[in-house]
A = this chain, B = another copy of it.
Amino acid sequence: MEAAINLIWENSYGSTSVDAICAKAKVKKGSFYYFFASKSDLAVAAMEDNWQTKQADLDRVFSPTIPPLERLTNYFNRVLECQEALQKEKGYVLGCPLFTLGCEVCTQDQAIRGKVEEILNRYLKYLETTIRDAHEQRLIVAPNAAFKAKLLFAYAQGVLTQARILNSLDGVREMSSGAMELLGVTQTAAAA
Contacts and interface: CB of A to CB of B under 8 A. Distances in A.
- Copies of this chain, count: 2
A102 B165 contact: yes
Main secondary structure of the interface of A (DSSP, over half): helix
B100 A103 contact: yes
Contacts of A120: 162, 165-166
Given A11-B107, A95-B103, 6 more contacts: A14-B14, A100-B104, A102-B165, A151-B155, A154-B155, A154-B159
Interface of A: 10-15, 92, 94-95, 99-100, 102-108, 113, 116-117, 120, 147, 150-151, 153-159, 161-162, 164-167, 171, 174, 178, 181-182, 184
A186 B84 CA distance: 37
A145 B173 CA distance: 18
A146 to B, nearest CB: 11
B158 A171 contact: no
Given A10-B107, A107-B92, A174-B147, A162 B167 contact: no
A104 B107 CA distance: 14
B108 A11 contact: yes
Given A103-B100, A171-B150, A182-B182, A15 B92 contact: no
Contacts of A156: 158
Contact of A161 (B10, B161, B171): B161
10 residue pairs, one from A and one from B, having the closest CB atoms: A14-B14, A158-B158, A154-B158, A102-B165, A157-B158, A155-B155, A154-B159, A92-B107, A12-B104, A104-B104
B178 A154 contact: yes
A103 B106 contact: no
Contacts of A151: 155, 178, 181-182
A164 B117 CA distance: 11
16 contacts: A11-B107, A12-B105, A14-B15, A95-B103, A100-B103, A102-B165, A104-B104, A106-B164, A113-B165, A113-B167, A117-B165, A150-B171, A150-B174, A151-B178, A153-B158, A153-B162
